[in-house]
Homo-oligomer: A and B are copies of this chain.
Amino acid sequence: MLYVDRLTGVKWYVGGMQETGRERTRREEYTEATRQALLAAGQNAFASEGYQAAGIEAISRAARVTRGAFYHHFEDKKALFDAAVVALQIEAAAKIEARAKTQRKVWDRLTEGIEAYLDVCLEPAYARIVIQEAPAVLGNARYREIEEAHPMALLTATLAALKRQGELDFEDIELLSRMVDAMICEMALLLPGAENPKRLRARGQKIIGNLLGTFRTG
């Protein structure tokens, strides 16, 4: 979460934060807690009702504050949604990285990471908020900005590593990464409605595997 030092105007994040030496006051903790409550309430509402149907009034009530408090913490409704997407993407990237790290060889890391990514995409909240609604609500530019910074960065980095090691050959790693991303998201939206999800998933992975295979060298 973002903090702003009143004295220095310095901003910093908790999560990937640097210690600035200055101590946190109790009040700051409370503030952060209500902000978190609003964000959590927002995620719930957006996930279950969708962006448009989710009302700020209801979200605020769920966080046990008034709409006044909401507008103190967030610029507007879109800002809350943006924050929700960022939080989900950071979470997603962490989960994927953790799973990928269980493998030694880079190529195995890739396939494990893709597995993990698909698992994340299958979580209903993620599917609805990030995949289904975020592009429309935030606009493509902003959506891609967030996506590139978090979950896709891992994929791109892994593909780049493979290329450096000479195990993969393609000019535009970024593009290849996006294509794989698109296929994974497609799978995520397809699987919940399938009559045989296990089989469908296996087939989907085969397709993705085939594609990557065509660029594999050695």
Contacts and interface: CB of A to CB of B under 8 A. Distances in A.
Interface of A: 50-52, 132-133, 135-137, 140-141, 144, 170-172, 175-176, 178-179, 181-183, 185-186, 189-190, 193, 200, 203-204, 207, 210-211, 213-215
Contacts of A189: 135, 140, 144
Contact of A182 (B141, B182, B193): B182
B179 A183 contact: yes
Copies of the protein in its oligomer? 2
A86 to B, nearest CB: 18
Contacts of A207: 170, 175-176, 179, 211
Given A183-B182, A203-B172, A132 B136 contact: yes
A43 to B, nearest CB: 16
A50 B138 CA distance: 11
29 contacts: A51-B136, A52-B52, A132-B140, A133-B136, A135-B136, A135-B189, A136-B136, A136-B137, A140-B189, A144-B189, A170-B207, A171-B203, A172-B200, A175-B200, A175-B204, A175-B207, A178-B186, A178-B190, A179-B186, A179-B204, A179-B207, A181-B186, A182-B185, A183-B183, A210-B211, A210-B215, A211-B211, A211-B214, A214-B214
Contacts of A172: 200, 203
B135 A132 contact: yes
A122 B173 CA distance: 22
